[in-house]
Amino acid sequence: MPVDRGYRIPIIDLSSQTERQVIVDREPGQYLGHPTTALLEDGRTMLCVYPKGHGAGAIVYKRSGDGGRTWSERLPTPASWASSREVPTLYRIVDRAGRRRLIVFSGLYPIRMARSEDDGQTWTELEAIGDYGGIVAMASMIRRRDGAYLAFFHDDGRYLRNEGKAARFQVFSVRSEDGGLTWSAPNIVAEHPAAHLCEPGVVRSPDGRQIALLVRENSRKLNSFVVFSDDEGATWSEPRELPGALTGDRHTSRYAPDGRLFISFRDTALETPTRGDWVAWVGRYADIANGTEGQYRIRLMDNKNAWDCAYPGVEILPDGAVVTTTYGHWTEGEPPYIVSVRLTLAETDKALAP
């Protein structure tokens, strides 16, 4: 069935509301991009990693103790973090015995990982997790119902086996049974004869029975895609195009307290007035499952570049506030820097009222 390239749901524009914006990091003349965040169990401590450069570049590490309202200076990192060649990603993991750790991944070949056993006070060096590589490793991660973890990434043929030749885009999963200490070999989750599927963003259904992956489409000829698993990632459905309303790059999803989804991404819909901007989608999991448009979109910030922005972190605080963090060209003629935007769905709902 054909899908719309645009969308009919309303857009709420918050881009001019500078009181919502917090600068996480900015350095004159230096490109700062592609952040990932993690919120610790106290509901206040937030960690953030990002590269000095477009993807590749030394990993910068910062901490907030007040839910993203203020941020530390750049914190010390292990020497190997300066050798990162790709977008770093950060995750909280809890193993089957309840032990908590933090993990940072850095991709290309081989995929490397560092860990912290003390809530990010100290970190190990980056070390290979196996004899394989990939791009934006790991773009997303989920805990299975049996306590194992699944992490997702993609490759286009160049880095998986270090062959250096672009071929078909494929999305992969790897599994950890020991709380992120070791990871399996990759398994193919999704591929498509025409679409270039990459940067998978994972979300679980509210009843816990299904996992969905929202997937970027890099040929720019089709909408984003989705695949589903009803057996905790053992098998996956065939890729299906999403509506134009959910078409974008690097979907990051969190459930608000009322059960709706807030999904942040770069807008790459084929028909949209906010193409290339940092946006969010508000709707329900059923919209993803049923292929419906959702409730509304939010323009979070106006990117002064045609496309380069919005690999976002999204956190929901105990009071229901959404704190979403990304990079972009927020000032004309200057390189990208890292900004957070703070909102509640009650506020954006109110903006829809007549």
Q: What is the pLDDT of residues 320-349, one digit of tens each?
A: 999 999 999 999 999 999 999 999 999 999
Instruction: Answer yes or no: is 6 within a domain.
Output: no
Confidence of residue 2 (pLDDT cuts 50, 70, 90): confident
pLDDT at 354 over 80: no
Instruction: Answer yes or no: is 144 within a domain.
Output: yes
Instruction: Answer yes or no: is 1 within a domain.
Output: no
Total of domains in the chain: 1
Tokens of 257: 């307290």
Confidence of residue 55 (pLDDT cuts 50, 70, 90): confident
**Mean pLDDT, rounded, for 209-221:** 97
Report the distance separating Cα 220 and Cα 160, nearest Å.
23
In sequence order, the 6+-apart residues with CB closer than 8 A to the CB of 49 are: 35, 36, 59, 60, 61, 88, 89, 90, 104
Instruction: Answer yes or no: is 311 within a domain.
Output: yes
Tokens of 325: 């963090």
Instruction: Answer yes or no: is 4 within a domain.
Output: no
Of 121-125, 165-169, 232-236, 243-247, which range is least confident? 165-169
Instruction: Answer yes or no: is 2 within a domain.
Output: no
Instruction: Answer yes or no: is 212 within a domain.
Output: yes
- Is-contact 257 281, C-beta < 8 A? no
Write out the residue range of the structural domain in which residue 112 sits. Answer: 11-352
Question: What digits encode the pLDDT tens for the residues 136-172?
Answer: 999 999 999 999 999 999 999 999 999 999 999 999 9
Residue 257 phi, psi (nearest 5)? -55, -25
- Is-contact 198 248, C-beta < 8 A? no
Instruction: Answer yes or no: is 5 within a domain.
Output: no
**Mean pLDDT, rounded, for 62-78:** 98
Report the distance separating Cα 277 and Cα 24, nearest Å.
19
CA 77 to the chain's CA centroid:
22
Query: Which residue do the tokens 């054909």 mark?
Result: 2
The CATH number of whichever domain residue 267 belongs to comes to: 2.120.10.10
Mean pLDDT, the chain, integer = 97
